[in-house]
A and B are shown apart, each in its own frame.
Chain A
């Protein structure tokens, strides 16, 4: 059954019990990203501190398990990290997602996000996984601007 590689336990856990969900104050930038092909959407806020520290990543949205779990995992990885480190994870995650299943993920960089490796084999679902991560990248760029 192929779907088993897609719906990893960790993804389902994050979908059922999203971490850090809900929009919080204060924040430096807010962005809203949508995936027009399937209607998934996410609103994301970032709060940055001294030394490029990511103080909070808060979000709300709706969509499939992949898109919503990806937002939850992102929250866990980015909050408390630095802008530099978190964007490095975004880059590695993007590389993995766009690798059509041919890319060997760097588990040290990705942490829990490695659970999404199976998504790369489903071109139609890659955008779901990337939605929140692209929103984060956008929000960071806006708050640093």
Chain B
């Protein structure tokens, strides 16, 4: 493998947890970054430094700590905005996670407080998602459909694990209010063709949202270039802490939406019987936000930028090519999703004949210290589509190596021996 430009060993030194030993003297092989990524010292130290020297509440305290904390919190917003190419920092809303970002947008649809026609939903209107969505991009829309009488529809998925766009013009039609799909599948690794879907959504005046939880951490994402209305992602999958996520939305659309949660900081003025609201992004950030987590996310963005998102994508692309070839050597193993590394990320989900994923995961962990995810990965409908109850998923990130993929393959051979 060519890792001459990308010094993965140097990167691994930034992540102390990767060199810890598991009980029984096993080394850790962490292949579960699609679930949650590990954190580099740079992020840990930034959060610690903030807590030790600058912490206070944000936005309301006039003292030194209050202004330092506010500066750090808002500074993180600037960093995130720059990282995703947001035209304005005000378009970056901090949430708890990607799920909250998706729910925040879903809440606007059919909401009587939303005066904008785009958010009015009547029985017979349609909401379009896809069969490869994470439950976070399914359930909020089911709730909207139940609340409004709208019809929930979805793009099917092809046998190869690609979005089936053959019905695009019928699925995206004059009744469609919103198209919300995943940018990169958390099971298949598939990277979806946003431009084609967006072009059709624009023709019919539908709003479009992307769940970018699995793309923003792994490849350069420029929200302005994507051209959609909303993008959701989460901090903990991109070497940042849990407890903080991001909703990016186009200013004009965010301004047309009603508030989500009510409380402190989201207001302009409050009377006993009514309130006026703060401008975006604070309109959507009620209550004390995850301050230290935002600082951590800012440090995560700095870290990823210093490594280089293009280089990270290239490294993961190489790992994906290597991984797909290596897994093909395991007898009977069936990969879910594209069989080549083109238009796909480093998420390798698979099944083994006659061995349940829970048994695969248990043996990989117990015998080799290999951490993978087993189950339906919060994408049960997608598993039903492929006629399986569960799968095993190895998901890679910037700190993974071809040696770790070799360890996985050795582990799978052992699993087959146990169940042979």
Task: Determine whether B389 belongs to the interface, using a CB cutoff of 8 Å to chain A.
Answer: yes
The residues of B that contact A15 with a CB separation of less than 8 Å are 419
A39 an interface residue at 8 Å Cβ cutoff? Answer: yes
CB <8 Å contact, B362 and A12: no
Whether B390 lies near A39 (C-beta < 8 A) is yes
Q: Mark A59-96, 1 if CB is under 8 A from B, else 0.
A: 00011111000000000000000000000000000000
Q: Which one of B355, B363, B380 contacts A3 once the chains associate, using CB atoms below 8 Å?
A: B363
- Asked if A122 and B362 make an inter-chain contact with CB atoms under 8 angstroms apart, the answer reads yes
* Inter-chain contact B375/A39, CB cutoff 8 Å: yes
Residues of B near A6 (CB, < 8 A) are 362, 366
B363–A64 touching, CB < 8 Å: no
Asked if residues A65 and B356 are in contact (CB atoms below 8 Å), the reply is: yes
Asked whether B376 is an interface residue with its Cβ less than 8 Å from the other chain, the reply is yes
Cα separation A16 to B356 with both chains bound (whole Å): 12
Total number of A residues with any Cβ neighbor in B under 8 Å = 19
Whether B418 sits at the interface, judged by CB under 8 Å, is: yes
Residue A145 lies at the interface, judged by CB distance under 8 Å to chain B:
no
User: Nearest B residue to A128 by beta-carbon distance?
Assistant: B358
Name the interface residues of B365-401: CB closer than 8 Å to any CB of A: 366-367, 374-376, 380, 389-390
Query: CB distance B419 to A64 under 8 Å?
Result: no
A-side contacts of B374, CB under 8 Å: 38
Given A12-B418, A12-B419, A38-B375, A1-B366 contact (CB < 8 Å): yes
**A7 at interface, CB cutoff 8 A:** yes
Please report the total number of B residues contacting A with Cβ < 8 Å. 19
Check if B353 is an interface residue, CB within 8 A of chain A.
Answer: no
| B115 close to chain A: CB less than 8 A | no
Bound-state CA distance A106–B224 (Å) is: 67
Q: What is the CA–CA distance of A64 and B380 in the complex, to the nearest angstrom?
A: 17
In the assembled complex, the CB of A2 is this many whole angstroms from the nearest CB of chain B, namely 5
A32 on the interface (CB 8 Å rule)? no
In the complex, A66→B375 CA distance in Å?
Answer: 15
Residues of A1-36 at the interface with B, using a CB-CB cut-off of 8 Å, are 1-3, 6-7, 12, 15-16
Within 8 A of B (CB), among A25-53: 37-39
A125 within 8 A of partner (CB): yes
* Complex CA–CA separation, A107 to B369 (angstroms): 32
Per the bound structure, the CA–CA distance linking A122 and B359 in Å amounts to 12
Give A2 to B380 CA distance when docked, in angstroms. 30
Pick the most buried of B356, B366, B419: most chain A CB atoms within 10 A of its CB.
B356
Which residues of chain B are within 8 angstroms of A62 by Cβ–Cβ distance? 389
Q: How far is the CB of B411 from chain A (nearest CB, A)?
A: 11
Whether B167 is near chain A, meaning CB under 8 Å from some CB there, is: no
Residues of A within 8 A of B376 (CB): 39
B389 touches A2 (CB 8 A): no
**CB nearest neighbor in B for A7:** B418
Q: In the complex, which residues of chain A have a beta carbon less than 8 angstroms from the beta carbon of B375?
A: 37-39
List which B4-37 residues lie within 8 A (CB) of chain A.
Answer: 23-24
Interface pair A64/B366, CB less than 8 Å apart? no
User: Which residues of chain A have C-beta atoms less than 8 A from B24's C-beta?
Assistant: 1-2
Contact A64 B358 (CB under 8 A): yes
Once the chains are docked, how many angstroms separate the CA of A39 from the CA of B418? 23
- Quote the shortest CB–CB distance from A60 to chain B (angstroms): 14
A63-B356, A65-B356, A65-B419 given; A3·B389 CB < 8 A: no
Report B-chain residues with C-beta under 8 Å of the C-beta of A12.
418-419
Q: Closest CB-CB distance, A56 to chain B, in whole Å? A: 26
Find the A residue at minimum CB distance from B383.
Answer: A39
Q: Which of A3, A65, A128 sits near B367, CB closer than 8 Å?
A: A3
**Does A2 contact B390, Cβ atoms closer than 8 Å?**
no
Interface 0/1 of A120-131, CB less than 8 Å to B: 001001001000
Which chain A residue has the least Cβ–Cβ distance from B375? A38
CB-nearest residue of chain A to B419: A12
Chain B CB count within 10 A is highest, among A15, A38, A62, A66, for A38
B419, A125: Cβ atoms under 8 Å? Answer: no
Contacts of B355 in A (CB 8 A): 65
Q: How far is the CA of A140 from the CA of B281 in the complex (A)?
A: 59
A66 to B355, CA, bound (A): 11
Question: Can you sample 12 A-B contacts with CB below 8 Å?
Answer: A1-B367, A3-B366, A7-B418, A12-B419, A38-B358, A39-B376, A39-B380, A63-B389, A64-B358, A64-B359, A65-B419, A125-B358
9 nearest interchain CB pairs? A3-B366, A64-B356, A64-B358, A39-B389, A2-B366, A65-B359, A1-B367, A3-B363, A64-B359
Given contacts A3-B418, A12-B418, A62-B389, 15 further A-B contacts (CB under 8 A): A1-B24, A3-B362, A3-B366, A6-B362, A7-B418, A16-B419, A37-B375, A39-B380, A39-B389, A39-B390, A63-B356, A64-B356, A64-B359, A122-B362, A125-B358
